Amino acid sequence: MDLAGKNVVYLGGFGGIGQKTCSELLERQLQALAIFDLTLNEEILTTWQSKFPNTKIFYLKVDITQRSDIEAAYKEAVERLGHLDLVVNGMGLMDDRHIDLTIQINLMGVINSCLIALEYMDKSKGGKGGMIVNISSVAGIQPTPLMSVYSAAKHGVTTFTRCLAHPPYFDIMGVAFVTICPGFTETPLLNDLADKITFKFETPMALRKAKRQPPQVCAENFVKVIEKAQNGTAWLLDVGEIKEIEFPVMWIPQLALAVFDLTLNEKILTQWQLKYPNTKIFYQKVDITEKSQIEEAYKVAKERLGHFDLVINGMGFLDDRRIVLTLQINLLGVINSCLIALEHMDKSKGGRGGMIVNISSVAGIEPTPIMSVYSASKHGVTAFTRCLAGPFFASSGVSFVTVCPGMTATTLIDNMQDRTIYKFDIPAELDANKMKRQSVQVCAENIIKVVQQAKNGSAWLLDVGELKEIEFPVMWIPPMES
């Protein structure tokens, strides 16, 4: 982050590392610096205001254990600054004799501060994005038995920060999360350390002889990290050195993919199973025109998986010469699949909720004369999906999303002119052979993006590699009796 002209909030700015870091930040020509702390250090504040007259610097009293204090401080800061670019959560307590306070200050306070700051920074809520930096500790990456409670709190900070850095969150909110883990630093936090440990055994030699870094050195490295850190990174700042931390993957959730289709492609299935050994992947034969087969497939999948999180209805057929089959596969099959899936996913029936994505088509949002039956079936899919996304079904906890791909290079559109109802000469503007097509890969990538960001009831156009949310006009409002 280029710090020049930025609005910064620093929680704990009058602390040992905080004072030195704020001084370093101010050297970067900030627009503003708001200090949230329990007690005002008037001497330091006046010194900064005199030395940096072009930066708006002010103090707001915050007891980090009181959520109402945090909320009020952020509200006033935003009123005075307009927006926030950078937040540093630097308040800390290290004293295992005070268990509740250690958790409240070091962990609960950071969690509350982050979530409240996001209300103002989140791009999806009108914010400008930015960065939130949480100060953890070496005790937040390595269990530290002498300070077991403090270590537990700081591990919580490290984990919480890494969780909020989840890429889909960043894509939506535009706020990067970064973890800082200082080593032993000469601050009041370490005073009388032997009296603040978890158990009163003899203080080990390692604690008495552990190397310490000056807070100025820690602060200089801290600001260097802010200037270069990417979302999700964590940094060790110890004995004057900077090192990006690489966390080993300790667990991979057991994902599962159940493929319902009429015919097994054994080669593809085997490739997926070999490439993704940590994902349970299996095939279930389904003729989508047979409701009993759909019911059986969902039953087997439920028995093998326990629950479903996401269902994608993607079976399709394009041949207007076969009217019944077109409607059975494209519309009736989707309707049956949705209603049967709901029996297992509906929260009001003991399910866990989730999302159902129905693949419609551009022919499902715009009448397509050369494929009238297909277009009718896909308009039905679009309408049905939007209906199930309505408030009547909110108790199910299942989101419904419509995806409308444009012309995509699949076998579905091969020789399309031979599968129309009427054999007229096709006008140039309706000639499928002259229409731009997107690759299957590009379409697939955009479907995944939609799944990751779509809200209930939304519909998406995926055409020539572009992704666009569709806005439907209101065509009718029922007249009501007075």
Which amino acid is present at 44?
A: I
pLDDT category at 253 given cuts 50, 70, 90 is: low
Which residue ranges form the domains of the chain, and what is each CATH number? 7-244 (3.40.50.720), 286-469 (3.40.50.720)
Digit-coded pLDDT (tens) for 18-63: 999 999 999 999 999 999 999 999 999 999 999 999 999 999 999 9
Is-catalytic flag, 169? no
Which amino acid is present at 49?
A: Q
150, 169, 276, 298: the active-site residue: 150
CA distances (Å), origin 92, targets 14, 190, 334: 11, 11, 55
Q: Does residue 464 register a pLDDT over 80?
A: yes
Convert 344-406 into a string of H (helix), E (strand) and C (coil): HHCHHHCCCCEEEEEECCHHHCCCCHHHHHHHHHHHHHHHHHHHHCCHHHHHHCEEEEEEEEC
Asked if 399 and 355 count as a contact pair (C-beta separation under 8 A), the reply is yes
Task: Say what the pLDDT of residue 455 is.
Answer: 94
Task: Say what the pLDDT of residue 416 is.
Answer: 65
Digit-coded pLDDT (tens) for 395-409: 899 999 999 998 887
Range in 189-193, 219-223, 409-413, 458-462 the model is least confident about: 189-193
Digit-coded pLDDT (tens) for 180-196: 999 888 777 766 677 77
Task: Say what the pLDDT of residue 264 is.
Answer: 96
- The average pLDDT across 460-482 equals 86
Digit-coded pLDDT (tens) for 54-111: 999 999 999 999 999 999 999 999 999 999 999 999 999 988 888 899 999 999 999 9
Digit-coded pLDDT (tens) for 305-317: 999 999 999 999 8
Instruction: Look at residues 441, 347, 357, 451 and name the one whose alpha carbon lies nearest to residue 401.
Output: 357
- The average pLDDT across 189-218 equals 70
